[in-house]
Amino acid sequence: MAVLDATGLVCPLPVLKARKLLKAMEVGEVLEVTATDPAAALDFAAFCGASGHQLIEQNDSEGRLYFKIRKSA
């Protein structure tokens, strides 16, 4: 599993950094992202919908957003 700490970054940087990491990953691997930008929830949902990657988990705690994205083919 790869990890991306995107805390403090604002749209579109968390998604752009995630996309770069996902390109280097194998199909089926999971990327775990931590972000603080409230727009990240919508951005990652839209990104996964457009790219075909699977958003397998999304939650928030104490101002931080957590995402798990499974790379698709």
The most distant pair of C-alpha atoms in the chain lies apart, rounded to whole Å, by 34
pLDDT tens, per residue, the chain with 73 residues: 899 999 999 999 999 999 999 999 999 999 999 999 999 999 999 999 999 999 999 999 998 999 999 999 8
- pLDDT for 61 equals 94
48 is a catalytic site residue? no
Q: Look at residue 72 in the predicted model and tell me its pLDDT.
A: 96
Going from the C-alpha of 34 to that of each of 41, 67, 73, the distances in angstroms are 11, 7, 23
According to the model, what pLDDT value does residue 43 have?
96
Active-site residue among 11, 13, 30, 41?
Answer: 11
Rounded to whole angstroms, the Cα distance separating 73 from 70 reads 10
pTM of the shown model? 0.94
